[in-house]
Amino acid sequence: MDTKYIFVTGGVVSSLGKGIISASIGKLLQARGYKVTIQKFDPYINIDPGTLNPYEHGECYVTVDGMETDLDLGHYERFTGIHTTRNNSITTGRIYKTVIDRERHGDYLGKTIQVVPHITDEIKRRMLREEEKDEQLDFVITEVGGTIGDIESAPFMEAIRQLRWQLGRNAVCVHLTYVPYLKAAEELKTKPTQHSVKELQGMGIQPDILVLRTERHLDNALRMKVASFCNVDLECVVQSEDMPSIYEVPVNMQRQGLDAAILRKIGIPVGETPEMKPWHDFLDKQRNAKREVHVGLVGKYNLQDAYKSIRESLNLAGIYNDVKARIHFINSEEITKSNVSEKLDGMAGIVICPGFGNRGIEGKIIAAEYTRTNNIPTFGICLGMQMMVIEFARNVLGYHDANSSEMDTQTPHNVIDMMEEQKSITQLGGTMRLGAYDCEIVKGSRAFQAYNGLTALTKCETPCEVIRERHRHRYEFNNAYKDEYEAAGMKCVGINPKADLVEIVEIPTLRWYIGTQFHPEYSSTVLHPHPLFMDFIKACNPL
Ligand code: GLN
């Protein structure tokens, strides 16, 4: 079968959930046996979101091949289990950079370089995944960030218009709009949808399928109205009502026939509706989980999206442990020695979050000390692990001035330090250890047990001695102190075999006190929750 292309755009307002809809389409097509990928095109000028403040753009998601990407890629991976790569996250900045580099190289033979056709051609080339032709995909789903009508997104829309024309039935346009409910009038309003579609039509794009985001159920008459005003078949007007969980969305979309409508548009026989049993089993577990486990998220960004993958990993692990993980954000900047017990009161366990820079680190260190001395399950991730290590140096090894050289370049006890080979790199963005690296786990450690339990769910082969996890950091555990740590009870139980870098530390005498230099949260998926999160929640919820 020729590759088919699905374009997902959004109108009216941003944050309508295009990422979740794209991920759901991916999941539903996958359930029908098709090979899919999902890619995101973002209209901003940054080369990648790596240097963006999480307040600007939420979490930065890292792919296996080490690209810092938009958080929607996290949804794609969690829903479908596919591995995305650097070519699944494209920004205007990258498009321009490619074109400008090519121009400097003389590849355009003296031509004037213009938005149309040069920029749009480069967008098209990437939308078609020309570089990855050997992937032999059945479907490429392309989500375009932002909303139509934005000045920035115009070249992307033009590229879609041209591709629609070129690909004929092999392309389908899905457009998401918002249908607001006006309380005072007690009415659902379709006008914004009509305007949004008109705007799209003005760019030469007729949407095939409309997904209407709504808080209230839309009746048939209303769908009919939208269909007739927007030149769309009634069966192609799908509603996406608010759901209690984003993981209900694929099933709801299947019920509404979104995948069937896509196949019909393309001219592929629809066949039977796939059962998706594992997904339904997961949803049942989610609906039935009643008991709550309270987990504190000690970090500095008080924003849902800033620690998206960690939150989802905890949720997923909770569900598979038959509990609801109740996540409480605890601002590390507000934690002091005198209020820590109050701040962490009622938490069955805490996660010390990743991060960069000085702000809020002392609060993380105080939290790590409190949970270590009170034997509360603690999971330190990346900077969180580094803070556990610093805390241990200060309060157990007796190095009161211990620090990371990221925070204090002069510290005489640099228990976290930059590796020699990283030091020479100065350009922002490209300087970090990024992407997946191997890690050998010490047999018999708690981390080893976690990775070797629940193997059917967590995809690990038994015995699982070498794992591969994703990284995003510059600083490392300083091996000069390793023996002292081990002797005092903090064990280095995960090691990168090539570079001899410490990847996992734990205190085996405590209930659950593990820090990872890598980011396990990037590889939790709905059908395969991450073993460390699974084990952590289990420790928070002793039966
Ligand atoms: N700032 C730390 C480093 O660069 C940790 C980074 C992180 O938590 N992702 O090593």
pLDDT tens digit string along 370-423? Answer: 999 999 999 999 999 999 999 999 999 999 999 999 999 999 999 999 876 656
CA distance 368 to 490: 13
Which of 332, 351, 434, 475 gets mutated to test ligand 1 (max ligand atoms within 8 A of its CB)? Answer: 475
Q: Which amino acid is at 522?
A: Y
- pLDDT for position 15: 73
Whether 44 is in the pocket of ligand 1, judged by its Cβ within 6 Å, is no
Which residue's alpha carbon is at the smallest distance from atom 3 of ligand 1? 473
Name residues whose C-beta falls within 8 Å of residue 113's C-beta, 6 or more positions apart in sequence: 99, 100, 103
Confidence check: pLDDT of 461 > 70? no
Q: What is the pTM of this model?
A: 0.94
Lowest mean pLDDT among 11-20, 233-242, 500-509: 11-20
Q: Tell me which residue has its CA closest to atom 6 in ligand 1.
A: 473
Asked if residue 259 has its Cβ within 6 Å of ligand 1, the reply is: no
Residue 471 in contact with ligand 1 by CB distance below 6 A:
no
Q: How many whole angstroms from its chain centre is CA 174?
A: 22
Calculate ∠ Cα 369-61-520, nearest 5°: 45
d(CA 93, CA 113): 16
Predicted confidence (pLDDT) at residue 49 exceeds the cutoff of 90: no
Residues labelled as active-site residues: 382, 519, 521
What is the CA(530)–ligand 1 centre distance, in A? 21
In the block, tokens 């990775």 appear at: 451
The whole-number pLDDT of residue 425 equals 52
Q: Which residue has the tokens 């934690």?
A: 335
Q: Tell me, what's the pLDDT at 431?
A: 72
DSSP 355: -
227 Cβ neighbours under 8 A, 6+ residues apart: 233, 234, 236, 237
Q: What is the mean pLDDT of residues 520-533?
A: 96
Which long-range contacts (C-beta less than 8 Å, at least 24 apart) are formed by 283-290?
A: 283/245, 283/247, 283/248, 283/251, 285/319, 285/320, 285/322, 286/245, 286/247, 286/319, 288/322, 289/318, 289/319, 289/322, 289/323, 289/324, 290/324
Cα 355 to middle of ligand 1, angstroms: 5
Residue 37 pLDDT > 70 = yes
Q: Beta-carbon neighbour count of residue 300 at 10 Å? A: 21
CB of 356 within 6 A of ligand 1: the answer is: yes
- E-state strands within 392-529: 403-404, 414-418, 433-441, 466-473, 475-477, 491-496, 501-506, 513-516
Determine if ligand 1 sits within 6 Å of the CB of residue 310. no
| Strand pairing category for 4-10 and 139-144 | parallel
> What pLDDT is recorded for position 457?
65
Residue identified by tokens 């330090």 is 417
Mean pLDDT of 459-485: 89
pLDDT above 90 as % of the chain: 87
Among 382, 407, 431, 516, name the best residue to mutate to test ligand 1's pocket (greatest count of ligand atoms within 8 A of Cβ).
382
- In DSSP notation, 315-352 reads HHHHHHTTSEEEEEEEEGGG--TTTHHHHTTT-SEEEE
**CB of residue 353 inside a 6 A radius of ligand 1:** no
Give the three-state DSSP class for 488: helix
**Separation between Cα atoms, residue 64 and residue 396, nearest integer Å:** 36
Pocket test for ligand 1, best of 406, 416, 521 (most atoms within 8 A of CB): 406
Q: Is 355 in the pocket of ligand 1 (CB under 6 A)?
A: yes
- Helices 531-540 and 308-320 pack at an angle, to 10 degrees, of 70
User: Mean pLDDT of all residues in the chain?
Assistant: 93
E strand or H helix at 532, and its extent? helix 531-540
User: Which atom, in ligand 1's list, is nearest to the CA of 356?
Assistant: 1
Asked whether 354 lines ligand 1 (CB < 6 A), one says: yes
C-alpha 475 to ligand 1 mean position (Å): 6
pLDDT at 51: 77
Which residue type does 33 have?
G
Q: Is the pLDDT of residue 98 over 80?
A: yes
**Residue (of 40, 5, 9) closest to 210 by Cα position:** 9
What whole-number distance in Å separates Cα of residue 232 and Cα of residue 220?
A: 14
Q: Pick from 52, 59, 474 the residue to mutate for probing ligand 1's pocket: most ligand atoms within 8 Å of its CB.
A: 474
Of how many residues is the chain composed? 543
More reliable by pLDDT, 170 or 424 = 170
| Higher-scoring residue by pLDDT: 16, 71 | 71
pLDDT given at position 303: 87
Q: Which residues, at least 6 apart from 477, have a Cβ–Cβ distance to it below 8 Å?
A: 386, 389, 415, 416, 492, 501, 502, 505, 517
CA nearest neighbour of 142 among 244, 340, 10: 10
Q: Is the pLDDT of residue 533 over 60?
A: yes
Give the mean pLDDT of 429-445.
Answer: 88
Give the pLDDT of residue 132. Answer: 86
Half-sphere exposure of 438 (CA within 13 A, CB side): 8
pLDDT band at 542 (very low <50, low <70, confident <90, very high): confident
Judged on CB neighbours under 10 Å (0-12, 13-18, 19+), 398 is exposed
Residue with tokens 């092999």: 170
Ligand 1 and 385: CB distance under 6 A: no
